[in-house]
Amino acid sequence: MKAKKISALLLAGAMSLSLLQGCGQSAGQEAGQETESGTDESSVEATAEDGSDEAEASESSDSQPEDTKESGGITFPLEEPVTLTMFNTVGDASEYTLEDSIFMQKMEERTNVHWEFIDVPVSELTEKKGVILNSGDYPDVFMKAALGAADYDSGCFIDLTDLIKEYAPNLSALLDKNNAWDVYKYSDGNLYATQLFQTPGRQASYMLINTVWLENLGLEKPATVEEWYNVLKAFKEQDADGDGDPNNEIPFMLAGSDEYSASCIPNYFGINFNGCWGDYAVSDDKEKVFFWPASEEWKEVLTYLRAMYDEGILYNDCFNTSNEQMEALGQSGHAYGCFFLRNTGTIENVVGMDKAKEYDVLLPFDGYPVAGNDGMAGNTFAITDACEYPEIVMAWVDYLYTEEGSILARLGIEGETYKVDEDGMWSWITDGKYGADVSTAITVRQDSHGNAPGIVTDFETYSKYVDSEDYSASLKFEYDKYIFENDMLLPQFPRYVMTAEEAETQTLVRADIVPYWRQYLAQVVTGQLDLEESWRDYRQKMNDMGLDRLEEAMNAAYGRYKQQ
């Protein structure tokens, strides 16, 4: 009896212990981390002090190129290594990590800053980011994390204005030059993230058409909406790919989200929009800005898409198809007559290597110009208040705003990952240890999946980017050259600055209105709703959700912008 009692007691004790174990463990780990960072701290403080002395010394004596030297009071490489953590976005199917990239290895050699990465697949970005930020245990830096109002509102990020001025001379100069200090300020007046500066260009995805199919049917490249519709209709009705079966073509392909979806179409129908990730546009007379999914032009797009869906021109399961499924479908031999390609994407990735060269670019219909992009993007790199050495981080990232750093980040090292020919054109090295083909070699890029901090130099972009192996890149190069030379580029969507109140309105209204217009698109195109009958209700419902308030806020901000 006694033994039984004791064993029961033990059992109960063990059970309650195991309950508590979870908490105990994490507490222990935290303690461990604290001591770790504790040692870091002491070592770096020493470095920072030494560093400033050395910086002064080096300024007077040596003749290093300006951009590899010190910024502010920080001299790289640091005498004692520092370890910091970074939140970073990677591709969904990507096996490549930033940690293994030649760029990060070189940067570590150069600076003695070691990064530990939290790599998050792009499709889980929003959720993971929110959870990590709000758990209170967040990393020092968020890179390529598509940060927005919700993230900044958490209060976890620090204002970078003074840090940039002091420790990032290159970035600071770029912000001065582009007059962009205010543009990227959050509505509370703080600047939370650094930017990306590229050569100005197009806004977003461009439409591609299968030229072999056009030839097979004796058709011309369509230049108007009507012609486009008729060409796709011919793709559907006739045996465009010439294999004897008139029914196995997919004349027009769209996929569920963003860069492959219907939200890329507006520019082709005469809307000067802010890209397929946004849903704003500016009127042709530049008088006002508006939410294009509520516009009459969008209604016209819907009319065409509806007809196309009905006649089997548009892929019938397109609203159920993810971007990855679309790529898989294309690579498994389903040929597309027409589809959208995002700027950083490759045709090979969508239709497979052997068919890629069949495609050519379509310009917006009826001679409408191409929506332009001034090449700036915000929210690329932000520092949290968990970071103990924001000045080191700022000096670190400033290197990416130099030509040398930018090339290291995007191309790697000359002779190892890329080569330059006698005309000054560069191309990937595909026989070396960094990949046997372009699609592998390209993974040295630090900026895959999301806007990365830094600049993109002319050397890297279209002006010199030619590569016979990389068909997508050379096609894009020709296309960009054409629209540039023919003056077909519209200015960037206005970069107005909203007040805190306007920004709050925008956030609240968009939370309802954005899922709604996407849902309406799917319903109308598939015929669940009749466009003519439901359009009024659709507009009315959007107004109920606050469309008026949203457009009012946008235009108030735009009005102030115009007066400047």
Residues that bind another protein (CB under 8 A): 5, 8-9, 11-12, 15-16, 19-20, 23, 126-127, 130-131, 133-134, 136, 150-151, 153-156, 256, 316-317, 319-320, 385, 507, 511-512, 515, 518-519, 521-523, 526, 528, 541, 544-545
The span from the CA of 269 to the CA of 313, in Å, is: 18
Cis peptide before 77 (omega within 30 of 0): yes
Please, which residue, 44 or 301, has the CB nearer to another protein?
A: 301
Minimum CB–partner distance for residue 148 and another protein (Å): 9
Give least dist CB 522 to another protein, A.
Answer: 4
Q: How far is the CB of 385 from another protein (least distance, A)?
A: 8
For Cα atoms 340, 406, 125, give the angle at the middle one, nearest 5 degrees.
Answer: 50
Helical spans, DSSP H, in 458-546:
471-485, 500-525, 531-545
Sequence letter at residue 128: K
- Which C-beta is closer to another protein: that of 463 or that of 507? 507
118's torsion region: left (phi>0), alpha (psi -120 to 50) or beta? beta
Residue whose token pair is 């620090």: 158
Identify the H or E element spanning 548.
helix 547-563
Q: Which is closer to another protein, CB of 138 or CB of 465?
A: 138
The distance of closest approach from Cβ of residue 379 to another protein in the complex, given in angstroms and rounded to an integer, is 15
3-state secondary structure of 24: helix
What is the secondary structure of 179-246 as a DSSP string? T-TTTT--TTS---EEEEE---EE-S-EEEEEHHHHHHHT-PPP-SHHHHHHHHHHHHHTTTTSSS-T
Distance set, CA 110 to CA 169, 192, 451, 545 (Å): 18, 26, 23, 52
Amino acid found at 560: R
**Smallest distance from the beta carbon of 389 to another protein, in angstroms?**
20
The CB-of-154 to another protein minimum distance in angstroms stands at 4
C-beta closer to another protein: residue 231 or 301: 301
| Residue number with CB closer to another protein (128 or 288) | 128
**Terminal alpha carbon distance of the chain:** 90
Nearer to another protein, 134 or 230 (CB): 134
* Shortest distance (Å) from residue 56 CB to another protein: 37
Q: Considering just the CA atoms, what is the radius of gyration of the chain in Å?
A: 27
Q: What is the C-alpha separation between 220 and 547, in angstroms, rounded?
A: 41
For another protein, the closer of residues 11 and 500 by Cβ is: 11
Q: What is the DSSP string of 124-145?
A: GHHHHHHHHHHTS---SEEES-
CA 95/CA 108 separation, integer angstroms: 21
Closer to another protein by Cβ: residue 248 or 486: 248
* Cα three-residue angle 63-69-73, rounded to 5 degrees: 125
- Tokens representing 198 are 């590229």
SS3 2: helix
Tell me which residue of 86, 102, 87 sits closest to 442, measured CA to CA: 102
Residue number with CB closer to another protein (58 or 123): 123
Q: Which residue's CB is nearer to another protein, number 317 or number 548?
A: 317
Smallest distance from another protein to CB 430, Å:
35
Q: Are strands 206-210 and 336-341 parallel, antiparallel or unpaired?
A: antiparallel
Q: Taking the complex as a whole, how short is the minimal distance between the CB of residue 152 and another protein, in angstroms? A: 10
Q: Minimum distance between the CB of residue 196 and another protein, rounded to whole angstroms?
A: 24
The CA-based dihedral angle spanning residues 172, 178, 181, 183, taken in that order and rounded to the nearest 10 degrees: -150
Other residues' Cβ atoms within 10 Å of the Cβ of residue 484 = 17
Query: Which lies closer to another protein via its Cβ, residue 439 or residue 523?
Result: 523
What H or E segment, with its residue span, contains residue 455? Answer: strand 454-455
- Nearest distance, CB of residue 156 and another protein, angstroms: 6
Query: Which residue, 154 or 486, has its beta carbon nearer to another protein?
Result: 154
Q: Provide the minimum distance between the beta carbon of 162 and another protein in the complex, in angstroms, as a whole number.
A: 20
CB of 257 to another protein, least distance (A): 10
172 vs 323 by CB, closer to another protein: 323
